[in-house]
Amino acid sequence: MSIAHWMILAAAVLPLVFAGLAKGGAASFDNRRPREWLAAQEGWRQRAHWAQQNSYEAFPPFAAAVLVAEQVGAAQVAVDALAVLFIGLRLVYGALYIADLSTLRSLAWTAGLACVVGLFLAAAQA
């Protein structure tokens, strides 16, 4: 299994990290109605929840890009590097989201998208 394949797993688990941050340690958390509880949150917990939602949205194009790039025989070094960079940027993105640093967060999001585009471009060159 390639490094990029492991990054697909990391991307699949990443939303759970942000969900844990949003819910963890809150005395008022109600696991019987977690969506209702999350919708009522404010501040950093709300932003952690939003980072969770965005991580789910970012997963399908990333996973598709890795699989397409590997299927057509793109350079594995490039595929692995872009996949690792994507995960690093998604971690930074989440941290910046929680910290309420919107401009930097948007830059990290854009750089992550550029990794996905780069994976498809690597596939196109294969």
CA nearest to 51, candidates 111, 1, 101, 116? 101
73: burial class by Cβ within 10 Å (0-12, 13-18, 19+)? exposed
Q: Is the pLDDT of residue 30 over 90?
A: no
Q: Is the pLDDT of residue 19 over 90?
A: yes
pTM: 0.95
pLDDT of residue 25: 85
pLDDT of residue 21: 95
pLDDT of residue 49: 96
* Band (31; pLDDT cuts 50, 70, 90): confident
- Quote the mean pLDDT of the chain: 96
Residue % of the chain over a pLDDT of 90: 90
Distance CA 23, CA 31 (A): 9
Can you list the domains of the chain with their CATH numbers?
Answer: 3-125 (1.20.120.550)
Could you identify the residue written with the tokens 């390639």? 2
Sign of CA dihedral 89, 94, 96, 101: positive
Q: Is the pLDDT of residue 27 over 90?
A: no
